A and B are shown apart, each in its own frame.
Chain A
Amino acid sequence: EDQVTQSPEALRLQEGESSSLNCSYTVSGLRGLFWYRQDPGKGPEFLFTLYSAGEEKEKERLKATLTKKESFLHITAPKPEDSATYLCAVQVEIQGAQKLVFGQGTRLTINP
């Protein structure tokens, strides 16, 4: 069964304190790994797509990396506005149809 596990469930940091979020996965037919940001009561907002091991993507204070079994979202010198839930999802393909399988998310709080 396709499975995505994120850790930690919640993380509280001080402004400027860098850290990493983990996403480990066991899937068949991986067709990409996606990171989304979700604010309370809103829809997932796209951040990054990674397709192959060794790939890295960066955007402002965020950097996503991918290995064969896990992905990391590194946050450097975070600000309070980076507080959100960060969702990891893998795109899997079954008989030609693709869908996203999500982890439960990491709730990140950045204190000023």
Chain B
Amino acid sequence: EPEVTQTPSHQVTQMGQEVILRCVPISNHLYFYWYRQILGQKVEFLVSFYNNEISEKSEIFDDQFSVERPDGSNFTLKIRSTKLEDSAMYFCASRRDRGETQYFGPGTRLLVL
């Protein structure tokens, strides 16, 4: 069964460093998302991406964040200068069409020291 994959599973970085989180969505899906979950809190929407552009972003998704689909299979989230409060699980999700189910990857646990 097709699934969303994410790399790395864990990332430890120093405050102020850049990180890139990678995702491979399900192959025939057209809509891509990033969510995050701070330990013990709700899953929060960050950004949605369709047709090679951002369709919506949350207040969390400021100028330090960017997303890219560099080729036909990968979808990346870049944090330019990490802060302590960026420590969280980051989930990638994808869906095939409007209104359909979003399928989530296993997540990347980011720890900023």
Contacts and interface: CB of A to CB of B under 8 A. Distances in A.
Interface of A: 31-32, 34, 36, 41-46, 49, 51, 87, 89, 91, 94-105
A98 B48 contact: yes
Contact of A99 (B42, B56, B104): B56
Interface string B87-108: 0010101000011011111110
The SS class assigned to the B binding surface is strand
Contacts of A46: 101-104
Contacts of B44: 102
B109 interface: yes
A98 B104 contact: no
24 contacts: A34-B101, A34-B102, A41-B107, A43-B91, A43-B104, A44-B43, A44-B91, A45-B104, A46-B101, A46-B104, A49-B101, A91-B99, A96-B55, A97-B48, A97-B55, A97-B56, A98-B31, A99-B56, A100-B93, A100-B102, A101-B45, A102-B43, A104-B42, A105-B42
A31 B102 CA distance: 12
B97 to A, nearest CB: 10
Contacts of A91: 99, 102
Rank and list the top 3 A-B pairs by shortest CB-CB distance, nearest first: A97-B56, A97-B55, A43-B104
Nearest to B9: A41
- Specify which of B42, B55, B89 lies most central, judged by the most chain A CB atoms within 10 Å of its CB: B42
B98 to A, nearest CB: 6
Given A43-B106, A44-B104, A46-B103, A98 B45 contact: no
A87 B42 CA distance: 9
A11 to B, nearest CB: 17
Contacts of A98: 31, 48, 98-99
Given A41-B109, A46-B101, A100-B35, 11 more contacts: A36-B104, A43-B4, A43-B105, A43-B107, A44-B91, A51-B99, A91-B99, A97-B55, A97-B56, A100-B33, A100-B93
